[in-house]
Amino acid sequence: MSAAVPSSVLLAGGGTAGHVSPLLALADCLRRRDPSVRVTALGTAEGLESRLVPERGYPLLEVPRVPFPRRPDAAALRLPGNLRRAVVAAEAALETSGAEVVVGFGGFVASPAYLAARRRRVPVVVHEQNARPGLANRLGARIAAEVAVTFPGTPLRGATVTGMPLRREIATLDRSAHRAEARERFGLTDAPTLLVTGGSLGAARLNAAFASSVAALSAAGVQVLHVTGAGKEFDPGEVPGAPYVVLPYCDRMDLAYAAADLVVCRSGAGTVCELSAVGLPAVYVPLPVGNGEQRLNAAHVVEAGGGLLVDDAAVDAAWVRDTVVPLALDAARLGSMAAAAASVGQRDGDEQLADLVARAGGGR
């Protein structure tokens, strides 16, 4: 039986979907456990959370955005004052919400929340999405009652591997049961199906490589569902072979996963965890920026045999023709990769993280 959750919880995270999505998944899990729990989110006015959190029915309290400068410049000189104001705002949020536990997901919002919680002696739970932790969560882990990580080997002392809190429609997805519905929804047939998605920031190279490969893919009998990102869509034209469907955005990624046999994508933590949870083989193309966390995020599923890692620089039309097309047509290999991906996937990250929240609250 699950432990009782605290009566009020403050969830701190924002800026990107990588922070907001697990925050909302945990919020929904806490509410399922106890409909009376008071869940409040802490975020910024500029981030995705300003829209997504209220849409999901949770109150959002705001703090100023405080990025940590990476070099000694004018922004670094302003950091102490900016951080002080953000901590004061986070303390006010703690008082308003009556939070008994603060859960931080990293990013600009988390650091002031952690510091305010320490000043107010409110227990902290840290969840780190990436295999290589960011600065905010390295700070938070030093004062946290509980630390949760998505991937084994993430270097945070005393961490519990919980996996990623996932949206309910992904965590409970039965791909085979919804395949026919999904393919009908997207105008696809029963041909081998490739899903291509690069996210909002990492789509350019993938879009270019596949836009120039429409004819080759269709002629080979590989149908494609290509989610390009808003404002990045293109017209694939009339193709004589397998369908090539282009969408700027997909609000039913669960059905996109159900339709697909193979995915080509970036390797953000959320994407890796969703695909392994539902048992989808993937070709991961880590973004060539940041601190290398995307390559590390995919390492465990690749080592298990559930995916391939490909350098961004290798992605072009010739690679699509010589690597992606043969893989998409190899049903036996895709079946083995799917089983391997599922073997390392976790569907209950939200429940495991909620257990740590309950434990932190009980030990206050």
Task: Report whether 148 contacts 127 (CB < 8 A).
Answer: yes
Give one DSSP letter per residue of 100-114, joined into a string: SEEEE--STTHHHHH
Q: Is residue 17 part of an annotated ligand binding site?
A: yes
**To which residue do tokens 């986070």 refer?**
90
Phi first, then psi: give them for residue 312, nearest 5 degrees. Answer: -55, -40
How far apart (Å, rounded) are the C-alpha atoms in residues 202 and 273?
Answer: 18
Backbone angles phi, psi at 42, to 5 degrees: -115, 125
The per-residue DSSP string of 145-206 comes to SEEEESSTT---TT-EE------HHHHT--HHHHHHHHHHHTT--SS-EEEEE-TTTS-HHH
346 is in an annotated binding site: no
Q: Is residue 200 part of an annotated ligand binding site?
A: yes
16 labeled binding residue: yes
Q: Is 130 annotated as a binding residue?
A: yes
Tokens (6 digits) for 190: 């029963």
Q: Compute CA 337 distance to the chain's CA centroid, rounded to the nearest angstrom.
A: 21
Could you tell me if 15 and 47 are in contact, meaning their C-beta atoms sit under 8 angstroms apart? yes
Q: Are 50 and 92 within 8 A, CB to CB? A: no
Contacts of residue 192, Cβ cutoff 8 Å, sequence gap at least 6: 221, 222, 223, 242, 261, 262, 328, 329, 331
- Does the annotation flag 167 for ligand binding? yes
Binding-site residues: 16-18, 130, 167, 200, 294
Give the residue numbers of the binding site for UDP-N-acetyl-alpha-D-glucosamine.
16-18, 130, 167, 200, 294
